């Protein structure tokens, strides 16, 4: 297996080791069978030093995933690991399998919502805990060192946890009388293997779009943040033969969910978190709820109204998970669709299917529609996530300069825990470096559309000062 032809000190190889996971393009410079073996070997060394001997191994629905799985398996065996091989799966199912088999290690081969031609890893060290920034740096540094291979001393146990996982989800849902009609989009990703059965068994009339896993993704990639990919579910939800009460769009590896209301409008995940906050704080008063810098003021104000404690934190599933456990919070989430439910309710990892089921549970106990319930929340106008190109090798340095510039302009208004979130009286704007792509992400919110537009123009002006940042705003709704 080991050919030693990968240039591990190259910029391309190093760029894959990101803030909260490892992602790269499938090519001879970044991810291929040889580099996967090297990276997983370095990870195996890390967890072996921590006394971890059992690892769950799974992979998402991409054409490269089976061969990368084989390379990863060989690396884990070389390091003497007992490997619970769950095959083609979803990230939350792999997290669940760690508990099921008492395995603190995890190798989930996935690039999540990144397009075809990419792959990567979510690596675990402990339960409901993925590697953080410094640990990922350590994996990279181990890649640069010679390996001391031990030979085939590990063990492989092939297991199927699908039914156990589905039963676990169902056991934690208490449906009311008003079971909603649900339309589900999986966009030919792996979630199609799980979603229909879960919501049918919850008693919902369920309609499923693009359910069969297809590595070519003939319609669109399973990314609920992509406006174009959401058009099908938004147009079909009110079809007279369907007439669904809500739509749920699960991403390729199942750890994110996008929601559509009956009238075909997107319901961003910070609004979903606001609804779940009402549900959980009614049962668990005064609890802490964690959310990322991209979330609406609607969420923080709702948490406070319900007697909870809102805590803003950095975007990134490992950051949010870590903060959630540090604060012993019952609920956490990101606007991108990662929702974490903990306490007595669940395990504290991001699970799009479970979050969708909890939202359905909440609605089943209401007499009003999703849209009517949302209308009772504090009201703001929020943009979609907007992206501008900025090269991977300069984006963080550029962001440091942008943060500094905003602090010069608005010294008392900048939250800099993750990029620059600039607070104004009638709204806010955010710019931050994407951890997974050569992009900067932007988001805007105002009490009115006019307020939001004014903040957008301020950001356009500031970003125009930096030649490394593209002037073309992708996914803008204007």
Structure tokens at 362: 């909440």
Buried b (16+ CB within 10 A) or exposed e, 49-76: eeebbbbbbbbbbbebbeebbebbbbbb
Q: How far is Cα 35 from Cα 26, in angstroms, rounded to an integer?
A: 10
Collapse the DSSP code of 106 into the 3-class scheme (helix H, G, I; strand E, B; otherwise coil) and give the result. strand
H or E segment and range at residue 247: strand 246-250
Q: List the beta bridge partners of residue 386.
A: 442
Q: How far is Cα 178 from Cα 189, in angstroms, rounded to an integer?
A: 29
pLDDT for residue 149: 65
Alpha carbon 231 to chain centroid, angstroms:
21
Structure tokens at 228: 């174009």
Is residue 277 flagged as an active site residue?
no
* The one catalytic residue among 65, 71, 112, 277: 112
Q: How far is Cα 352 from Cα 165, in angstroms, rounded to an integer?
A: 13
pLDDT for residue 89: 97
Are the CB atoms for 323 and 312 separated by under 8 Å? no
Handedness of CA 140, 143, 148, 152 (dihedral sign): positive
Buried b (16+ CB within 10 A) or exposed e, 371-401: eebbeebeebbbbbbbbbebebeebeebbee
- As a whole number of Å, the end-to-end CA separation of the chain is 51
pLDDT for residue 151: 65
Q: How far is Cα 355 from Cα 466, in angstroms, rounded to an integer?
A: 39
pLDDT for residue 150: 63
pLDDT for residue 3: 54
Structure tokens at 12: 């391309």
pTM over 0.85: yes
- How do the pLDDT tens digits run along the chain, 478 residues long? 445 567 888 988 998 998 888 999 999 999 999 999 999 999 999 999 999 999 999 999 999 999 999 999 999 999 999 999 999 999 999 999 999 999 999 999 999 878 889 999 999 999 999 998 899 999 999 999 987 666 668 999 999 999 999 999 999 999 999 999 999 999 999 999 999 999 999 999 999 999 999 999 999 999 998 888 999 999 999 999 999 999 999 999 999 999 999 999 999 999 999 999 999 999 999 999 999 999 999 999 999 999 999 999 998 888 898 899 999 999 999 998 999 999 999 999 999 999 999 999 999 999 999 999 999 999 999 998 899 999 988 999 999 999 999 999 999 999 999 999 999 999 999 999 988 789 999 999 999 999 999 999 999 999 999 999 999 999 887 6
Are the CB atoms for 196 and 208 separated by under 8 Å? yes
């Amino acid at each position: 297996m080991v050919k030693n032809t990968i240039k591990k000190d190259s910029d391309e190889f190093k760029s894959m080791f990101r803030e909260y996971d490892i992602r790269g393009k499938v090519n001879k410079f970044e991810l291929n069978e040889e580099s996967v073996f090297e990276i997983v070997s370095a990870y195996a060394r890390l967890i072996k030093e921590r006394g971890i001997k059992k690892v769950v191994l799974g992979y998402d629905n991409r054409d490269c995933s089976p061969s990368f799985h084989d390379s990863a398996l060989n690396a884990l065996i070389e390091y003497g690991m007992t490997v619970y091989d769950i095959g083609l799966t979803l990230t939350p199912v792999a997290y669940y399998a760690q508990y099921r088999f008492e395995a603190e290690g995890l190798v989930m081969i996935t690039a999540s919502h990144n397009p075809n031609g990419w792959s990567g890893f979510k690596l675990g060290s402990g339960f409901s805990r993925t590697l953080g920034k410094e640990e990922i740096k350590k994996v990279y540094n181990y890649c640069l060192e010679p390996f001391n291979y031990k030979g085939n001393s590990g063990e492989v146990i092939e297991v199927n946890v699908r039914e156990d996982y589905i039963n676990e989800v169902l056991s934690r849902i208490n449906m009311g009388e008003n079971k909603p009609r649900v339309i589900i989009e999986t966009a030919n990703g792996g979630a199609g293997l799980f979603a229909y059965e879960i919501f049918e068994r919850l008693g919902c009339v369920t309609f499923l779009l693009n359910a069969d896993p297809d590595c070519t993704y003939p319609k669109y990639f399973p990314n609920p943040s992509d406006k174009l990919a959401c058009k099908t579910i938004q147009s079909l939800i009110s079809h007279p033969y369907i007439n669904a009460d809500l739509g749920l769009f699960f991403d390729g590896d199942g750890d994110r969910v996008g929601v559509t209301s009956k009238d075909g409008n997107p319901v961003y995940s910070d609004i979903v978190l606001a609804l779940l906050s009402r549900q959980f704080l009614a049962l668990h008063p005064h609890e802490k709820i964690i959310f990322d810098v991209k979330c609406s003021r609607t969420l923080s104000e709702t948490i406070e109204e319900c007697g909870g404690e809102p805590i803003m934190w950095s975007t990134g599933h490992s950051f949010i998970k870590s903060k959630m456990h540090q604060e012993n919070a019952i609920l956490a989430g990101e606007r991108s669709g990662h929702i974490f439910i903990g306490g007595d309710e669940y395990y504290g990892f991001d699970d799009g299917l479970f979050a969708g089921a909890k939202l359905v549970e909440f609605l089943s106990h209401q007499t009003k529609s999703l849209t009517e319930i949302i209308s009772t929340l504090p009201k703001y106008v929020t943009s979609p996530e907007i992206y501008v190109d900025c090269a991977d090798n300069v984006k963080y340095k550029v962001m440091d300069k942008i943060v500094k510039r905003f602090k010069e302009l608005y010294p008392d208004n900048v939250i800099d825990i993750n990029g620059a979130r600039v607070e104004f009286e009638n709204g806010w704007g955010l710019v931050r470096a994407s951890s997974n792509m050569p992009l900067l992400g932007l988001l805007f919110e105002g009490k009115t559309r006019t307020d939001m537009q004014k903040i957008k123009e301020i950001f356009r002006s500031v970003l125009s000062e930096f030649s490394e940042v593209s002037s073309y705003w992708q996914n803008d709704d204007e």
